[in-house]
Structures are given as structure tokens and as C-alpha cells.
Structure 1
Amino acid sequence: MVAMRFLVGGFCRAMSATVQARPRGLVYEKHGEPDRVLQLKDVSLPELGASGVHVRMLAAPINPSDINMIQGSYAVLPDFPAVGGNEGVGEVVQVGSNVTSLKPGDLVIPADAGLGTWRTEAVFEVEKLLKIPPDIPLMSAATLGVNPCTALRMLSDFVTLKPGDSVIQNAANSGAGQAVIQIAAAKGIKTINVVRDRPNFQELSDRLKSLGADCVITEEALRKPEMKDLFQKIPKPLLALDAVGGKNATEMLRHLQHKGTMVTYGGMSKQPVMIPVSVLIFKDVRLRGFWMTQWKKDNAQNKEKLSGMIADLCALIRKGQLAAPACQEVPLPDYQIALKAATTPYVTAKQVLRM
């Protein structure tokens, strides 16, 4: 695991100003398993035009949604041929004649999904990009646009939480889960974090607690009567965040406060969310769904709101209250290694392609 100790801006200044003569990217021309359909190929760059921005990509992570998109099971699918990747950070090389919000040397992240970030260079329309400060660590910048944004929106948009309140979440060791822990801790909100049992559970628990987690339990513990002892120390949660579905989500629902809310944003178990009738009748719980891509589409015309969200997250990063998930950097030509690790159970390091 490589520890990143320099900032994006410093990295960019250290790079050669010469752009590669042959941009390359991970291209697929049909849906299927990523290790079979992705190929590292030369990619052409369109004309810059009046509103185009030529970007040199620096780093881009592999997220579950990226895998789903290539498999053809995601809600938004690109036209073929397509370049993989929905998140990452790049440096502006050149801008079109009508572009005034960006200049060469600026750092940018995608404003929406589907841009295809697993490539060395690209030309994007200016409205598809968000500028970020130059003093953000590289791995934090590369992983800023999806999980931290998802965590912040879910903690802010569904329930009014105040310091001392609690949130329960599953998949707590995921990128989104780690962001929830840190953002909640910065706001004084307690977190109960559910993870799958594993041989290195104590090591994982210690790491999540070092990020600010108040309690880390297994899925099995979630179902045991001893949970009542936990709520002697931590108040019952007002909000549950579900990335798993199935029985795990059902058990979290049982522990919500009266009129609590569960937000489902993923379905890792590929099982439906089963709602006990008693929970609906006697607890009057609320069930909501959240998709960051849709939120960005709904707010595409409100660049101030998008930029404000990024600014809030960057402020937490600067304060040391929001760190990137543990990352494993992999050179782009070794993408098959990264894909294998990204789809292997219990591998907690985020795979990040370095361009």
C-alpha cells in the first residue's frame, strides 16, 4: 500500500509539461466482465472547440459503479466504444476560446458520471468539470467526487441531525462508509458501523475507530439481543444508511428510533429490502433511496451548489477531518491487477489507476 504524502499541485508542477503524443485509455466495445472486455488502446482527442477543456488525467479510482457500468447493469450506460471510469482528478492543459472559469494548470474532477476517466488525456466540455483547490492530496482529490459527496448528502438531506445523535450504517468499511464516519465525527454525530465478519475484524475495527467510528460490529452481532446494551451508551439512531439490502437492511430498520429514516444507496447483497410490517406500523419509519448521479443531474444548472459541496469537503480535508480511503496505486498498464483486487472480497484498499 503506497502512502501519498504530497499534494496534487506539487505533483503537477513536478510533471513534464509535454503531453503524451498518443493518449491511451481503457476502452470497451460491449458489456461484460471488465477483465475480458476492457482493452488499453490509443484514444483520439476531439477538437477543443470554443467550450472544450483539454485535461491530462492524473489518477482515477475503480468504484463498484464503474464495474456495474461495464457489465451493463448500471442505470446509466454510455455509447460504444466507451472509456471506463466515472471519477478521478486531472490537470487542465488547454481551454477553448469561450472558457473563462478554467485555465491551464487548474485541477478538475468530473461534475457528473460517464465521462470515462480511465485514460491519460481527454477533451471534456467545461460544464462537465468542477475546479478543485491545488492543495488537496492526490488520493483525496482522485476519490472526492463520489463517496464523500454521497456521504455528505445522505447525512444532510434526509434527517436533521444534531451533535450527540447517532447514525447506523452497513458496509462501513467501504469508501462511502469511511466518509460517513469521518464527516459524522466532524459534526459530533455518533456512528454505529456494521461490517461483515472476517479474519482481520479487530484490525478493521481499530482502523475505522481511528477515523472516528464510535462502534464497529458484525452483521451477526446486529441480530443479537445484546444490541440493547449498546443503546445504553449510544442513542438509538435517527438515520440508517444501507448499501447492502437483504436481511442486513431489515435488521438495521429494527433498531431505528420512532419515525426514523433508512436511506438505501446500494445493493451489494443483490437481495431485496424486506420491511417488517410491525416496523412500518408501530415505528412509522421512512424509506428513501439515494443516487449521487441523479442528485448531480438535478443540480447540474446550479454550479454554486455543486462547488459549495466540494468546497465544504475540501475544508474538512484541510482540517484533517476527512482522509481518502486506504488506496493502492496501480499504473494504468497494470489495470488487470487493479481490476482483480477491486473485485476480490475483503480487499479494503481502493484501487486507483495512476496515469
Structure 2
Amino acid sequence: DLARLCLGASFALQNSHRFLWLKNLELAAVGGSDVHVKMLAAPINPSDINMIQGNYGLLPKLPAVGGNEGVGQVVAVGGSVTGVKPGDWVIPANAGLGTWQTEAVFSEEAVISIPSDLPLQSAATLSVNPCTAYRMLMDFEQLQPGDCVIQNASNSGVGQAVIQIAAALGLRTINVVRDRPDFQKLTDRLKSLGAEHVLTEEELRKPEMKNFFKDMPPPRLALNCVGGKSSTELLRHLAPGGTMVTYGGMAKQPVIASVSQLIFKDLKLRGFWLSQWKKDHSPAQFKELILTLCGLISRGQLTAPACSEVPLQDYQRALEASMQPFVSSKQILTMC
């Protein structure tokens, strides 16, 4: 079968799902260093939506196939391929691969093999959010067991990964989320993942929070995916000399730090983008990161976020669901 079903974008405008369509394309021949991959599942991440809208740091030439993350199974390999074999599971080595398709031919360097006994949803959501969470926990502060981390957007894919990886490292977490009708249900879920505390944005602003922080070591690391007032609150509770790492801007508002916080508390403001980390590190180092996370998954210390599997043909429903407020379930396109 030489046809592949792709979900692609012709041009980028605000209403993302209106400019995507399914199309049958001819499958390229497998060259000597190529790998024929049958995609199994691919999530819809905020970065995918941003890329379609044209406001992401990495934009493909259009028309393009959407999807930066996913898992597939190798069907065939070229004669000079040595790193993977038919039957192996593989994930993208970099963003922009185009995972929203039933099958494709990639270069060997474009994919990384992973254990095929991982849960499908964990494998499909491995290469973006858990990697971001792990690197932010490891690269900015020398955290020790018992140290505290505070984060907003704690129910996001990255947030859920932060909770679990932090718990595996013996770190304590304060997890901030927007208030919502099912707040208690969300709290129970995040605590089941290892969250020590779950607070709403409004609770974090209350004066009585001073008593709360008397019983907690002041956080040395804050992880910001929101910006605006939410990030200001994270900064307010950081320990002197602490670091806030921004990796997203859901509120579409700037990060504002007071002069006194910078001078008298010596707080550090940093940014993190996984694509830049990959540029600054070797493929072998990224492979090592992936295998570290696979180990956490195998030991039951890292699970996939709450997911809803949607057939590729129903992509419009999945895209619309992924852009709704207060959605705690990640949409995963299945290709079978």
C-alpha cells in the first residue's frame, strides 16, 4: 500500500482546526538510510497548535504534516540502517517530524528507538513533556531530596510529569491550578501522582498563605507556564537566590518581576525550550534522557497524563477538545 493518510496544514490562521485536512499521499521509497514507520499514536500538544497558528519558535515549510510527538513501529529499513530494525518502536528525535499520519518514511537519524513494552500512551507522550519536566528539575538548581518546587499549570502534561519525577527524586511540590468546578477531583488525581499540595491561584494570593509556607521549606525552583499575575505569585514565594523557569505563556501576559525581588532576593529568571536544549546537546545525550525516562515508566514512577484516544479521521473533534478551557485530558490521535 503506497498511500499514507496525513493531517496537514495549508496555511496558519487563528482558527487552527479549520485549516487542517486529511489527505492521501504517496509513500516515498525506502532509501538506504531510511526507515519506514507505521505510526501508532500521536498527541495534540499546545506547541502543535502554536505551530499551526504560526506563533511558535520552529515553523515548517507549508504545506506540512502536523504533529511533533508520537510513537510508531518500524515496518522496514534501508540497507545501511543499523540503529533500528523492523518491529521496533520509535519516537521523533526532533520537533517538526509530522507525526499526524498513518505511516511515513523517515531518515534513521530522525527517530529514536524505545522499548516496545511501554504503555502506548506513555510512549506517545514521551518525547516532549516528560523531557521538559526532567530537564527543568535537573538543570537550573542543585536540588536535594526534601527541597521544594512550586509550579503553575500543574494539571498540564508537563505539570503532571513534574509531579511524578519530583516525587521519584524525593522533592516536595506545591502545585497551583486555576479554580474550576471539579477542583477536588483534580486535586485527588494530582495527589495520586505524588503532589504534596494542590492550591488554586486565588488561594496562593491569600495573606494566610504565610502560615502555610512556615511549614514548608521555601521553594528554590519555580516552573512557570502561565505568565502574568500567576508568575508574579510564584516569584513572591521563591526562596532568596531561587530561580523561576518559564517554559510557556498560557495567559499571553508578560512575566513581571519587581525590582526589590531582583535586588534584595537575587531571584533569577530563566527560560527553557526543549528544541534549544537539543541543539545544545548531542543526539546521544537526548537518547540518554529518553532511556532515563523509560526507566521511570518501567518502574511505575512515571505515567502518561490523562488521555482521550481519538481516531485520526475524527481529528476536528480532538482539536476542538484540546483547545477548550479546563481540559485535563490530552487528546491522542490513533492511527489504526
Shorter-chain-normalised TM-score: which range? over 0.9
Aligned pairs for 1:250-261 (under 5 A) are 250-261=232-243
| Counterpart position of 2:120 | 138
Could you tell me which residue of structure 2 aligns to residue 97 of structure 1?
79
1:340 paired with 2:320, answer: yes
Q: Determine helix, strand or coil for the equivalent of 1:231.
A: helix
Instruction: Determine what percentage of the aligned residue pairs are the same residue.
Output: 64
The CA distance in 2 between the partners of 1:288 and 1:329, in whole Å, is 35
| Cross-structure match for 2:228 | 246
Query: Which of the numbers 4, 29, 36 marks the counterpart of 1:54?
Result: 36
Q: Secondary structure at the match of 1:216?
A: strand
Deviation at 1:343, TM superposition (A): 0.4
Alignment-derived partner of residue 274 in structure 2: 292
Q: 2:4 aligns with which of 23, 30, 39?
A: 23
| Corresponding position of 1:267 | 249
Q: How many residues align?
A: 334
For residue 43 of structure 1, give the secondary structure of its aligned residue in structure 2: strand
Secondary structure at 1:307 match in 2: helix
> Unpaired runs of 5+ in structure 2?
none
Say which SS state the counterpart of residue 160 (structure 1) adopts.
coil
The amino acid that maps onto 2:9 is Y
Q: How big is each residue's C-alpha offset from its partner over 1:195-215, in whole Å with a ceiling of 9 and x where there is no partner?
A: 000111111111101100010
Q: SS of the residue aligned with 2:26?
A: coil
Q: Which runs of 5+ in 1 are unaligned?
A: 1-19
User: CA shift at 1:21, angstroms?
Assistant: 4.4
Q: Deviations for 1:39-76, whole angstroms, at most 9, x for unmatched residues?
A: 01012222321211110000000000000100111111
Task: Please tell me whether residue 184 in structure 1 is matched to residue 166 in structure 2.
Answer: yes
Relative to structure 2, which stretch is displaced further, 245-254 or 41-50?
41-50
Distance apart, 1:258 and its partner CA: 0.6
Q: CA deviation at 1:102?
A: 0.7
Is 1:353 aligned with 2:333?
Answer: yes
1:9 maps to which residue? Answer: none
Matches within 5 A, 1:146-225: 146-225=128-207
Cα pair 1:112 1:297 within 8 Å, conserved? no
Q: Once the 2 structures are TM-superposed, how far is the Cα of residue 224 of structure 1 from its aligned partner?
A: 1.2
| CA displacement at 1:297 relative to structure 2 | 2.2
**TM-score, with normalisation over the residues of structure 1?**
0.93
CA distance in 2, matches of 1:246, 1:90: 38
Q: Which amino acid aligns with 2:91?
A: I
Pick from 99, 105, 122 the counterpart of residue 104 of structure 2.
122
Alignment map for 1:99-114 (pairs within 5 Å): 99-114=81-96
Supply the distance in 1 between the matched residues of 2:163 and 2:26 (Cα, whole angstroms): 41
Counterpart of 1:305 in 2: which secondary structure? helix
Q: Is the 8 A contact 2:218 2:238 kept in 1?
A: yes
Give yes or no for the alignment of 1:307 onto 2:274.
Answer: no
Contact 1:111 1:296 in 2 (8 A): no
Which consecutive aligned stretches of 4+ in structure 1 deviate over 6 angstroms post-superposition?
A: none
Matched residues in 2 for 1:90 and 1:298: separation?
A: 26
Residue 76 of structure 2 aligns with an amino acid whose one-letter code is Q
Query: Which amino acid in 2 is paired with 1:335?
Result: Y
Contact 1:326 1:349 in 2 (8 A): yes
